[in-house]
Amino acid sequence: MARQKAPAKRAQKQPKSSGSTRAASVKSSKKKILVKPPPSSEDEIEPEEELGGSGLLNNQPGDPVTTQKKRKVRSGTKALREIKKFQKNTDLLIRKLPFARLVREIVQEEFGNDADYRWQSVAIMALQEASEAYLVHLLEDTNLCAIHAKRVTIMQKDIHLARRLRGE
């Protein structure tokens, strides 16, 4: 007695239509599998073709979106970069207009509100240059005091010590 095998079901092909996004269904004995037909050259342009075949862009619609991870920068790298940047340029560090307002305010407090002095822009620029040079030099000495105390962070007591050593 020979057993006869049941005839296997074959995939039924449906006629092609002009739409490229249509999915043809293939039936098997146990599960249903959806097969997507390849896009025709008329409907879609390949990403490689857009970039001249370089293959830089290989993303297809439906691919998971990947985001680039931020690179972790070592601590202190940004500070060193800023130090190098500020050492290279000779520009003023304080904005001109706020500094000019501060100078006018100090003059009004010292000489009274009725005194309305006019300032040349060159005079305010000279005051700003001198004050920034003084502050930079003071902070350099303050940093040396902090380093002498085996610290890297400057504190108020370092500023007081630097001014005392200068005789101010």
Top-tier CATH class for 91-166 = mainly alpha
For the segment 137-144, the average pLDDT, to the nearest whole number, is 96
Which tops the pLDDT comparison, 114 or 48?
114
Segments making up each domain of the chain, as ranges? 91-166
Position 155 scores a pLDDT of: 97
Per-residue pLDDT, 13: 53
Please compute the mean of the pLDDT values over residues 50-74 and round it to a whole number: 72
- For tokens 């309305």, name the residue: 116
pLDDT at 1 over 80: no
User: How do residues 25-43 score in pLDDT, each as one tens digit?
Assistant: 555 456 667 666 666 655 5
Of 10-24, 78-92, 113-127, 141-155, give the lowest mean pLDDT range: 10-24
Looking at per-residue pLDDT, the higher value among 55 and 132 belongs to 132
d(CA 6, CA 27): 16
Residues 23 and 34: beta-carbon distance below 8 Å = yes
Mean of all residue pLDDT scores within the chain: 79
Higher pLDDT, 33 or 8: 33
User: What is the amino acid identity at position 118?
Assistant: R
Residue with more model confidence, 37 or 129: 129
Position 3 scores a pLDDT of 59
- CB–CB of 28/9 below 8 Å? yes
At 81-120, the pLDDT tens digits run 998 998 899 899 999 999 999 999 999 999 888 778 899 9
